[in-house]
């Protein structure tokens, strides 16, 4: 009747793999940042599945939700800093393409 | 009924994630990500996490995606006919193969780990009481996890200052901006 924690872990694995794939094959910096958000969501799902696994009806496990709250907060901070960096990069390069930013390539 | 809804939402989340990867424009990626976030919020609700579902919608769909949309529209990256249109350019040759292999390997490791994680799944009846009841969550957050909470609040302050410094447009004659006046 209820949701299996295993299935949450399967979904989490799929979301994380798609996030990694997008981060590796896309060149638009904004889309890469979105893929990072996708990976953080997969991590949240893993935390909550673990919390489901270790909860009993009398004693709920709170570490999963607590750390999910922290991850959501840090994801918001990361998105804000990342988008500010993208704006700075765009001002410098007139482009959001990662191939354009190659100063530190050596 | 719950199972059918759950699998439907899983399909929506995975399709949305796939859409983020293959969308031709950044705007399409944002909309696909929105679908994924909403599906995940309902999945959290089905799994018995009410507060996390609300936080997911408020913070991710409400704040982060609006921030993404704002930047995309500010930089004029979204439209198909815009000047800075960025088509889907998958990496060619070996790099794409390496990327696909890395992602597939991660998925395989995750699936194996998920398979071995729970020999006997513990059934918690969903929908009765949420696991993350607000009273218990607040007691834990301000009691045992007070130090991480304060560290995160400090992090938010640092982030605010950093974003203001980074995104501030520097005046043409004031300071040593690396960018030209614009």
Q: Please tell me which of the candidates B44, B72, B123 has its beta carbon nearest to residue A30.
A: B72
What does CATH list as the number for B2-132? 1.20.120.1200
The Cβ of residue B73 has, within 10 Å, a number of other Cβ atoms equal to 13
C-beta atoms of A61 and B46 within 8 A:
no
Please state the φ and ψ torsions of residue A97, each to the nearest 5 degrees.
-95, 135
Domains of chain A (ranges plus CATH)? Answer: 5-97 (1.10.287.3510)
State the count of interchain CB pairs (< 8 A) between A and B. Answer: 261
Cβ contact (<8 Å) for B86 and A8?
no
User: Which residues lie below 8 Å from residue B115, measured CB to CB, with a gap of 6+?
Assistant: A6
pLDDT greater than 80 at residue A17: yes
The token pair that represents A51 in the structure block: 């919390």
Nearest CA in chain B to A43: B110
Q: Identify the bridge partners of residue A97 per DSSP, sorted by sequence position.
A: A28
Interchain CB contact of B43 with A (< 8 Å): yes
CA distance B77 to B84: 6
Tell if the CB–CB gap between B6 and A65 is shorter than 8 Å. Answer: no
pLDDT digit string (tens) for B144-179? 999 999 999 999 999 999 999 988 876 655 545 444
Interior CA angle at A95 toward A85 and B74, to 5°?
A: 65
| Residue B81: per-residue pLDDT | 46
Share of chain A above pLDDT 70, in %: 97
With cut-offs at 50, 70 and 90, classify the pLDDT of residue B82. very low
User: What local confidence, expressed as pLDDT, does residue A11 receive?
Assistant: 92
Separation of alpha carbons A65 and B108, rounded Å: 26
Residue B117 has pLDDT above 70, yes or no: no
Distance from the first to the final alpha carbon of chain B: 57
The secondary structure of chain A in percent helix, strand, coil, rounded to multiples of 5, reads: 80, 0, 20
pLDDT: which is higher, A43 or B175: A43
Cβ contact B131:A52 at 8 Å:
yes
Helix axes B2-22, A5-25, angle to 10 degrees: 10
Q: Minimal Cα distance from B104: which residue of A? A: A17
Q: What is the pLDDT of residues A68-106, one digit of tens each?
A: 999 999 999 999 999 998 888 888 877 777 777 777 776
Q: Where are the domains of chain B?
A: 2-132, 133-171
Kindly report the nearest CA distance between residue A100 and chain B, in angstroms.
12
- Rounded to an integer, what distance in angstroms lies between the CA atom of residue A90 and that of residue A77? 20
Please give the torsion angle defined by the CA atoms of residues B95, B99, B102 and B107, in that order, rounded to the nearest 10 degrees.
-160
Which of A51, A85, A87 has its CA nearest to residue A67?
A51
């Amino acid at each position: 009747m209820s949701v299996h924690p295993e299935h949450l872990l399967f979904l989490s694995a799929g979301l994380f793999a798609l996030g990694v794939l997008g981060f590796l094959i896309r060149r638009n910096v904004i889309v890469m940042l979105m893929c990072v958000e996708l990976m953080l969501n997969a991590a949240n799902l893993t935390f909550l599945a673990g919390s489901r696994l270790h909860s009993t009806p009398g004693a709920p496990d709170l570490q999963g939700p607590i750390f999910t709250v922290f991850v959501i907060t840090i994801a918001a901070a990361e998105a804000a800093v990342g988008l500010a960096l993208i704006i700075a990069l765009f001002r410098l390069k007139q482009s959001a393409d990662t191939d354009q930013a190659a100063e530190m390539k050596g | 009924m719950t199972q059918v809804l759950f699998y439907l939402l899983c399909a929506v989340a995975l399709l949305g994630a796939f859409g983020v990867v293959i969308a031709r424009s950044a705007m399409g990626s944002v909309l696909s990500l929105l679908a994924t976030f909403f599906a995940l919020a309902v999945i959290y609700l089905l799994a018995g996490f009410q507060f996390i579902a609300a936080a997911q919608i408020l913070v991710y769909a409400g704040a982060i995606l609006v921030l993404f949309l704002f930047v995309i529209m500010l930089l004029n990256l979204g439209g198909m006919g815009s000047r800075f249109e960025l088509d889907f350019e998958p990496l060619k040759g070996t790099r794409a193969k390496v990327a696909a292999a890395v992602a597939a390997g991660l998925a395989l490791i995750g699936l194996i780990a998920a398979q071995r994680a729970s020999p006997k799944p513990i059934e918690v009846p969903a929908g009765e009481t949420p696991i993350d009841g607000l009273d218990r969550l607040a007691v834990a957050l301000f009691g045992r996890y007070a130090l991480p909470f304060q560290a995160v609040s400090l992090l938010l302050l640092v982030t605010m200052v950093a974003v203001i410094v980074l995104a501030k447009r520097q005046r043409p004659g004031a300071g040593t901006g690396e960018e030209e006046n614009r």
